[in-house]
């Protein structure tokens, strides 16, 4: 019996698929060349349920939550690096790694306002060794100064100042990443501040947030090293009635201060989709960041699946020719399944959806639309759904030197048995 997954049959299926796509005017090899150059920024926090490496790490706060206790989560920097290296080895293409401030290597207890590039030197060395770009995030949560739900918009100037110092320190770390790697770091500001119940004053906290951010961003940093981004949100756990950094707040802030806007797929009303927002905000902003995530009924940060919305996000970026203006980041955290598998599934889906979008005859679709031939537009869009996309994906994995089909899962299962299951659930600080 022939092995369907052997290299020759993958290549043969690819050849046939290339011919099929050519009949629609799609250049498959051109698409693969383009895909190779698109990095996805993989978030560190899927690896350990947003725990980080602070000495006196607090419970996860800020209105986000991780559920699940699948064994084997990374307990220290070595384990996290080993896990993400395993994930990288199962992903076609060259990608980035996205760190949060709580993931520094702190030899002595270091408060958030005291962090600096020295705490991330190990990550810089690691990124240089593995030739990956780094992105960064200040951490405005899981801290006693964030315990009442307010940080940069806090009514108390002392607390605000503490977090302003954290923001300033974070941009310096982003700058150090960008300079050391000769590759700009996107430093993304997500500030959880908000009200559980109806506020009496929505304006004042917003004024305080803007003023705090202005202080943080006062120092010019070259965009060759660091790009600031601000992330909006509709609601969180404990901030159901009003989030200070709302969409309108940050759209205006990003526009007036020349910042990137971060659109997180889980941060809007469940009937709203970020795929429809990309072309709108790019009318006015040069660049944006996406947090590709999956909300299930709410901002639940489920692992990204190959959903209609994921495909729509990729289509919008590719159809609009926005690949150079959209920084692609992932944002999900699931503790109920193997965490390396979660990274691999979510990231492979992101890459797959970009590939599918690159295999569209977009010129033809646009032509039908301009001519008002919506019948043909719909017919072709539906036809595309059963084109031999999987054969192209398998081939891309094969030539990228990563497992095809489900073979990556065997590698993760073996890693789980040989490495992850030997970790105890008790934290092992190094
Ligand atoms: C929270 C935001 C934010 C975080 C990470 C950990 O709702 O999406 O981006 O998920 O920064
Ligand atoms: Zn996010």
Is 206 among the domain residues?
yes
Is 53 among the domain residues?
yes
pLDDT at 56: 85
Mutate to test the pocket of ligand 1, among 237, 291, 332 (most ligand atoms within 8 A of CB): 291
pLDDT of residue 212 exceeding 80: yes
Instruction: State the pairing for strand pair 242-243/194-195.
Output: antiparallel
Q: Which atom of ligand 1 is nearest to the CA of 299?
A: 7
Residue 50 in contact with ligand 1 by CB distance below 6 A: yes
Rounded Cα gap, residues 243 and 236, in angstroms: 8
pLDDT of residue 235 exceeding 60: yes
Q: What is the DSSP string of 8-42?
A: HHHHHHHHHHHHHHHHTT--HHHHHHHHHT---EE
Is 205 among the domain residues?
yes
pLDDT in tens, 401-418: 999 999 999 999 999 999
pLDDT in tens, 171-189: 999 999 999 999 999 999 9
Residue 424 binned pLDDT confidence (cut-offs 50, 70, 90): confident
Is 195 among the domain residues?
yes
Residue 233 in contact with ligand 1 by CB distance below 6 A: yes
Is 74 among the domain residues?
yes
* Domain count for the chain: 1
Give the least confident one: 2-6, 286-290, 334-338: 2-6
Q: What is the mean pLDDT of residues 373-385?
A: 98
Q: Give the number of other Cβ atoms within 10 Å of residue 121's Cβ.
A: 14
CA distances from 134 to 94, 227, 331, 347, 410 (A): 12, 12, 15, 16, 28
394 is catalytic: no
Strands annotated E in 213-253: 226-231, 242-243
Give the ligand with the smallest distance to the CA of 192: 1
Rounded Cα gap, residues 275 and 224, in angstroms: 28
Rounded Cα gap, residues 235 and 238, in angstroms: 8
Are 38 and 390 contacting, i.e. CB atoms less than 8 angstroms apart?
no
Q: Whole-number mean pLDDT of the chain?
A: 96
Residue 430 binned pLDDT confidence (cut-offs 50, 70, 90): very low
Is 125 among the domain residues?
yes
pLDDT in tens, 17-34: 999 999 999 999 999 999
Q: Look at residue 163 and give its three-state secondary structure.
A: helix
Q: What is the mean pLDDT of residues 366-390?
A: 98
CA distances from 310 to 94, 156, 194, 331, 350 (A): 20, 41, 28, 13, 7
Mutate to test the pocket of ligand 1, among 43, 52, 64, 267 (most ligand atoms within 8 A of CB): 64
Q: Which atom of ligand 1 is nearest to the CA of 264?
A: 8
Is 7 among the domain residues?
no
331 is catalytic: yes
% of the chain at pLDDT higher than 70? 97
pLDDT at 82: 98
Q: Phi and psi (nearest 5°) for 422?
A: -85, -5
55 is catalytic: no
Residue 427 binned pLDDT confidence (cut-offs 50, 70, 90): low
Residue with CA nearest ligand 1 atom 5: 331
Residue 4 binned pLDDT confidence (cut-offs 50, 70, 90): low
pLDDT in tens, 84-122: 999 999 999 999 999 999 999 999 999 999 999 999 999
Is 344 among the domain residues?
yes
pLDDT in tens, 41-76: 999 999 999 999 999 889 999 999 999 999 999 999
Residues 6+ apart with CB under 8 A from 400: 36, 92, 93
Domain of residue 407 covers: 20-422
Q: What is the mean pLDDT of residues 230-253?
A: 98
pLDDT in tens, 129-169: 999 999 999 999 999 999 899 999 999 999 999 999 999 99
Residue with CA nearest ligand 1 atom 3: 190
Residue 337 maps to which CATH number? 3.20.20.150
pLDDT of residue 36 exceeding 80: yes
pLDDT of residue 3 exceeding 70: no
Q: How far does residue 384's CA lie from ligand 1's centre (Å)? A: 34
pLDDT of residue 429 exceeding 80: no
pLDDT in tens, 299-333: 999 999 999 999 999 999 999 999 999 999 999 99
pLDDT of residue 2 exceeding 50: no
Q: Which two tokens stand for residue 114?
A: 């005291």
């Amino acid at each position: 019996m022939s092995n369907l997954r052997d290299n020759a049959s993958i290549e043969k299926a690819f050849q046939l698929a290339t011919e099929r796509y050519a009949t629609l005017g799609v250049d498959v090899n051109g698409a693969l060349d383009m895909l190779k150059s698109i990095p996805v920024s993989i978030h560190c926090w899927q690896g350990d349920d947003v725990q980080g490496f602070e000495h006196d790490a607090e419970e996860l706060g800020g209105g986000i939550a991780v559920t699940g206790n699948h064994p084997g989560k990374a307990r220290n920097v070595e384990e996290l690096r080993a896990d993400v290296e395993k994930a990288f080895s199962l992903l076609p293409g060259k990608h980035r790694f996205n760190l949060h401030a709580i993931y520094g290597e702190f030899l002595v207890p270091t408060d958030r306002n005291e962090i600096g590039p020295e705490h991330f030197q190990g990550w810089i060395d690691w990124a240089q060794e593995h030739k990956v770009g780094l992105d960064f995030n200040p951490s405005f949560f899981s801290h006693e100064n964030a315990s009442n739900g307010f940080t940069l918009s806090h009514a108390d100037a002392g607390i605000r100042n503490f977090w302003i110092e954290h923001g300033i320190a974070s941009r310096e770390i982003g700058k150090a990443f960008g300079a050391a790697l000769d590759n700009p770091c996107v430093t993304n500001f997500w500030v959880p501040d908000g009200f559980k119940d109806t506020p009496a004053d929505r304006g004042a906290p917003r004024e305080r947030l803007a003023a705090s951010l202005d202080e943080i961003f006062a120092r010019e940093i070259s965009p060759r090293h660091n790009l600031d981004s601000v992330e909006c949100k509709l609601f969180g756990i404990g901030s159901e009635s009003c989030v200070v950094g709302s969409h309108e707040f940050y759209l205006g802030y990003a526009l007036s201060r020349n910042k990137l806007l971060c659109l997180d797929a889980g941060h809007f009303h469940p009937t709203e989709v970020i795929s429809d927002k990309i072309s709108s905000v790019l009318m006015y902003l040069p660049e944006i960041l996406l947090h590709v995530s999956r909300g299930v009924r709410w901002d639940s940060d489920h692992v990204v699946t190959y959903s209609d919305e994921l495909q729509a996000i990729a289509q919008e970026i590719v159809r609009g020719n926005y690949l150079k203006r959209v920084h692609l980041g992932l944002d999900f955290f699931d503790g109920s399944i193997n965490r390396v598998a979660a990274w691999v599934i979510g990231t492979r889906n992101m890459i797959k959806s970009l590939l599918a979008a690159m295999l569209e005859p977009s010129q033809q679709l646009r032509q039908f639309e301009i001519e008002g031939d919506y019948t043909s537009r719909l017919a072709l869009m539906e036809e595309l759904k059963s084109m031999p996309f999987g054969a192209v994906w398998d081939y891309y994995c094969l030539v990228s030197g990563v497992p095809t089909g489900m073979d990556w899962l065997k590698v993760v299962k073996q890693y789980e048995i040989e490495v992850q299951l030997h970790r105890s659930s008790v934290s092992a600080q190094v």
